[in-house]
Amino acid sequence: MNKEPLIKWISIIYRYSLMYANKKLKGFDITGGELSFFIVIVDRSGITQEELSHYLKINKSTTAKAVKSLEQKGYVIKKVYNKDRRSHKLYPTEKAVELRKQMRKLAFSWDDILLSDVEDRDRQKIYEIIKTMADNADECVNRSVEDG
């Protein structure tokens, strides 16, 4: 049995992922911290800021800052949601849609780096295990929130 918690390694991978993304994104005026917001807005065009926060499991103020930055950089258009004037729908600009294609390649190249010493037959299992871990975390946290 390992004597170190799994979260240590997940955290290390996450921090290195941000460093890798920051290096690769330097010329695009987007940061690794903004990347997850960027991807979801492009992939789920018309999502509200509240839905974006919920989807990414990130607080509303952090989401608002990231959206404002992406809007100022010309990647996002924010439109008032007719059903709730206080709410905004988020749409990617053409510039964002074009960059998203490169981001997909970036993500898969990082996967290749992370899995470079892993046998092909084990790669799918790793994805399944990590997805199960994320589902377990979601269930636990949401159950804890509901239980108060």
Q: Are residues 89 and 127 in the same domain?
A: no
CA distance 110 to 22: 12
The tokens describing 2, both together, are 């390992």
In a domain, 1, yes or no: no
Q: Are residues 94 and 126 in the same domain?
A: no
Which of helix, strand or coil describes residue 29?
Answer: coil
HSE-CB at 52 with a 13 A cutoff on CA atoms is 30
Res 47 pLDDT > 90: yes
- Confidence (pLDDT) at 69: 97
In a domain, 52, yes or no: yes
Between 3 and 41, the more confident residue is 41
Report how many domains make up the chain.
2
Mean pLDDT in residue range 81-100: 87
Q: Are residues 89 and 16 in the same domain?
A: yes
Q: Are residues 23 and 90 in the same domain?
A: yes
Res 130 pLDDT > 90: yes
Res 1 pLDDT > 60: yes
pLDDT interval class at 19 (50, 70, 90) = very high
Q: Are residues 30 and 90 in the same domain?
A: yes
CA distance 6 to 12: 10
Q: Which of 52, 59, 18, 57 is nearest to 37 (CA)?
A: 52
Q: Are residues 140 and 67 in the same domain?
A: no
Between 84 and 5, the more confident residue is 5
Which of helix, strand or coil describes residue 9?
Answer: helix
Mean pLDDT in residue range 97-122: 92
Q: Which of 45, 48, 75, 42 is nearest to 60 (CA)?
A: 48
CA 15, 37, 104, 21 dihedral sign is negative
Q: Are residues 73 and 11 in the same domain?
A: yes
Domain that holds residue 138: 116-148
pLDDT interval class at 75 (50, 70, 90) = very high
Q: Are residues 90 and 137 in the same domain?
A: no
Mean pLDDT in residue range 25-52: 93
- Confidence (pLDDT) at 148: 56
Q: Long-range contacts: 14-22, Cβ < 8 Å, 24+?
A: 17/110, 20/110, 20/113, 21/106, 21/110
Between 127 and 84, the more confident residue is 127
Res 88 pLDDT > 90: no
Q: Are residues 58 and 128 in the same domain?
A: no
Q: Give pTM, 2 decimals.
A: 0.79
- Confidence (pLDDT) at 6: 92
Res 94 pLDDT > 90: yes
